[in-house]
Chains A and B, each alone.
Chain A
Amino acid sequence: MDLGLSDEQRQLVDSFTGLLAKASTPEHVRAAEPGGVDQALWATLRDTGAVTMGVAEDHGGWGASLLDLALVAEPLGRACAPAPVIETQVAARLLAAIGTPVALDALGPALAGDHLVTMAVRPPQGGVAALTPAGAVCDAVIVLDAERLLLVPVSDRNRHPVANLADAPLADIDLSPSSSGGGAVELAAGPSAVERYETALDEWLALTAASLVGIGSAALHLGCAYAAERTAFGAPIGTFQGVAHPLADDATHLDGARLLAHKAAWALDSGDARGRELAAMAFAFASRTAEATTYDAVHVHGGYGFMLEYDVQLHYRRARGWARVWGDAEAADARAAEARY
């Protein structure tokens, strides 16, 4: 067992943390609302290799592990980064894993940054991929329609951006040939298509779990800093156990959530039989933890906590919004149970 980062991993985290400290400040995050994407940040992240790094080297990527991507997802969450990184990483890895000429044709422009490909994390219903992450800014979406994995072009004709709690770039996407322009291509079909999709979903769940740890950690930091400085009844409120103890629980749960997200990514990387179960568990635990932590951090701020001017609300809304485009913690419990039993 080794819970330490390698030198390369440390450098990776440091470089993204440094980049985000400059290009994804709370001012950037606010300015990107409600659309949810800061184009300058997104271009910088793409140029840094945020999408390319996750793809295998023989498909033009850098061959980073899912664990490496999880290490990057945490600072992205911490900064509430208004850029569609996780969805595009997962979609690119899915195209590379399928590896057919059709899939690789789509992968090339996606890695070059000419074409933004995302993935619908829930199966479409009634011909609509609802609340698709990055749907508001994508050029194409991968959907699992029954047992067919399709790549559907997206334009303003079939995209309906949705104003939402997290100010994320979500859209309802109409998949019908008449509105999508009919350019959908089949990437895979049958049980193997379903399995490819489920594996991509495992990756999305693990990476989102890591981003939720980042969101929660940043909120905890804000809550603790405020509790140490704000006085009431003649003492810093952080000396009151009613204030301090929930924050101590949150710190504990965040550490646990981080370890579990890393373990899930490690298990998926190493082909461990429990990968799917652990990814769902990581999502469930990180989701509950980020919700509780952001709630406590808002509450510690008193009335300031629900003022738009204070940063903590940015984290509160994303702790819920980034996760629930797929489902809540109980849905993840059910997925973990399906894998376990």
Chain B
Amino acid sequence: MDFALDAETEAFRTEVRAFLDEHLPPEVEERLYLTGESHDDAFARALGERGWIASEWGPEERPLDPTHAHVLEAELAKAEAPFYAVSTGAMVGRVVAASGSEELRSEVLPGIASGEVTIALGMTEPEAGSDVAAVQTRARPVDGGWVIDGQKMFTTNGHAADHVFLLVRTDPASRRHRGLTTFLVPLDRPGVDVQAVRTISGERTNITYYADVFVEDRWRISEVGDGWRSLMLALQDEHSAPFSPHLARLLEATEQWAATPGVDGAVPLDRPDVRRRLARAATELEVAQLLEARTTWMEANGEVPLAEGPMSKLFSTEAIVRGAEDLTALVGPDALRSRTDPTAVVGGRIEHTLRFSLGTTIYAGTSEVQRNIIAQHRCGLPRA
């Protein structure tokens, strides 16, 4: 057993940090925060130039292995870098590579790998969230292609991306997992309407509407009726998405607050309760990082982290919520000052994490869904 990263992986981490210093200057960070955008073209292309977007399906002879990919994602998340559209693109890239037509593969894969083509996810609907098999958006066959009707919720980057990955029902008589098909739909097609949805963290997402949207058959990804399997393939990547960097950022900000004398000259870190509560948050961070590292380590060793992936997602995101609640309470009234206010404590990072924390236990599989998976696969409990 060895808990240290090897020198080569540490060197890679240093390389990623240098990359972030170069490509994510404070003014870009500030603009992204104020607009709530989670994509930046220049940044995405710089990632693509390094060969850091595509996995085994891309043009690189030696794509990043799970360990390096984890380090990269953790550093990007820690820096709040705009890489969400890139990561959703990479998710879909894997699915297109596995089951898309030759035509579709050559049309989009090089662009995804270079950071020039971005893809939003269209799975959730107003009436289908955790129960994604309940989707109602439909595609019906017409001459030369398909016509799509319906709506999708939380199509983050739907206003900025080139395509949306759509899970739709192609067999109107089908139920649940059967009769679903996946498509890649260009977002500039007539009939697509994108409406902004603002979230408590300031992040912009969207609701997207599809009214008689025509796509040629080449935009179909899965076999007709086999969409569930390609959805599962897309979601595989979500297991290892690191959330602990957000907790690390919160802890660092609160430690910075604690080490700074207040207006009365007292240093919060001299107080025993401040020390204990910070240590407790640091302990949770340690556990979150270890659970994430274990998921990555299993993947790197060819094991499928069936329960372990959900465990790391569940623990890290719940730890962010616990940490944000406790540390904002610890900082006291001043933690109310927002990131946009010049008087904010530590640049408002503490207040912002409280806002941001809420979504993390919802998206990419709610905590309740994760617990169901763990109960079944680890605890051996029967399904309801």
Contacts and interface: CB of A to CB of B under 8 A. Distances in A.
A330 B4 CA distance: 28
B314 to A, nearest CB: 6
B282 A244 contact: no
Contacts of A244: 371-372, 375, 379, 381
Given A236-B382, A341-B275, A3 B368 contact: no
Contact size range, A: 35 or more
B276 A256 contact: no
Contact of A263 (B3, B275, B276, B311): B3
A6 B2 CA distance: 11
A256 B283 CA distance: 10
Interface stretch (A127-135, A154-162, A175-183, A332-340): A332-340
Interface in B344-384: 368, 370-372, 374-375, 378-384
A3 B303 CA distance: 13
A129 B151 CA distance: 70
Given A248-B374, A278-B286, A4 B381 contact: no
A251 interface: yes
Contacts of B4: 1
Given A255-B311, A263-B290, A238 B275 contact: no
Interface residues of B, number: 46
Interface in B54-71: 67
Interface stretch (A14-22, A118-126, A220-228): A220-228
B287 A260 contact: yes
A253 B315 contact: yes
Interface string B19-45: 000000000000000000000000000
B278 to A, nearest CB: 7
A330 B276 contact: yes
Interface string A180-194: 000000000000000
A249 interface: yes
A312 interface: no
B269 interface: yes
A32 interface: no
A33 to B, nearest CB: 29
Contacts of B315: 252-253, 256
B279 interface: yes
B291 A259 contact: yes
A316 interface: no
A338 B288 CA distance: 22
Contacts of B275: 333-334, 337-338, 341
A83 B278 CA distance: 36
Most A Cβ at <10 Å: residue of B5, B272, B279, B311: B279
A241 B2 contact: no
Contacts of B278: 337, 340-341
Nearest to A236: B382
A122 to B, nearest CB: 18
B382 A247 contact: no
B297 interface: yes
Given A241-B384, A244-B371, A285-B283, A334 B379 contact: no
A171 interface: no
Nearest to A281: B283
A295 interface: no
A241 B371 contact: yes
Given A247-B379, A280-B279, 7 more contacts: A1-B2, A2-B297, A4-B1, A228-B381, A228-B382, A241-B384, A263-B286
Q: Which 4 A-B pairs have the closest CB atoms?
A: A337-B275, A238-B381, A256-B287, A248-B374
Interface of B: 1-6, 9, 67, 269, 272, 275-280, 282-284, 286-288, 290-291, 293-294, 297, 301, 307-308, 311, 314-315, 368, 370-372, 374-375, 378-384
25 contacts: A3-B294, A4-B1, A225-B380, A228-B380, A238-B381, A244-B372, A245-B375, A247-B375, A248-B371, A248-B378, A252-B291, A255-B294, A262-B1, A262-B3, A263-B290, A284-B283, A285-B284, A333-B279, A333-B280, A334-B279, A336-B279, A337-B278, A337-B279, A340-B278, A341-B269
Interface of A: 1-6, 9, 67, 220, 224-225, 227-228, 235-236, 238-241, 244-245, 247-249, 251-253, 255-257, 259-260, 262-263, 266-267, 278, 280-281, 284-285, 330, 333-334, 336-338, 340-341
